[in-house]
Amino acid sequence: MGSPVAAIACGAEIDWDEPGRFPTIGRMPSYEPVDLSAACNAGVEVLGDEPGDVPLGRVDLRGLPFLIGPEPASAERCFLLPGAPTLVGIGRLAQRVIVAHRLLEPGAPAGHAVGQTVAEYAFHLADGEVVTAPIR
């Protein structure tokens, strides 16, 4: 089964050597990254890419700031693979939460139809309400 890799943005700019390689849509300074490093349980080897091909640390993806792994950047534990439920505290007001995913085995028989729910996020709000969002 393909597995998503996640990072959350809730900023920094990078001057890429290859400008067209990681497209952006202009920086969005009202967003800030959430530090997931305490929950990271996998390194860049899970992607199958060359280690230098994976952006780590503070990066902008399509204009949104993300923190991929810890600071300073480390290729050892920089991604969160699904397994057991994981709690990530935001600790502040968030109008939007944006999560970046990557399918680890594109084209592999994952046992899921297109659009089928493969995971869920449960957002626990300050007033006690729980909002569940399906991940497809």
Nearest Cα neighbor of 60 from 106, 22, 99 is 22
pLDDT value at position 111? 59
Instruction: Provide DSSP, 12-46.
Output: -----SSTTTS------TT--B---TTT--B-GGG
Its pTM stands at 0.68
Confidence grade of residue 132 (pLDDT, cut at 50, 70, 90) = very high
- Structural tokens at position 101: 């995913």
Instruction: Give the integer Cα–Cα distance in Å for 98 and 31.
Output: 9
Confidence grade of residue 25 (pLDDT, cut at 50, 70, 90) = low
Instruction: Give the integer Cα–Cα distance in Å for 98 and 23.
Output: 17
pLDDT value at position 110? 55
Q: For the chain, what are the domain ranges?
A: 1-108
Residue % of the chain over a pLDDT of 90: 13
Q: What is the pLDDT of residues 37-72, one digit of tens each?
A: 999 999 988 887 666 778 899 988 888 888 999 988
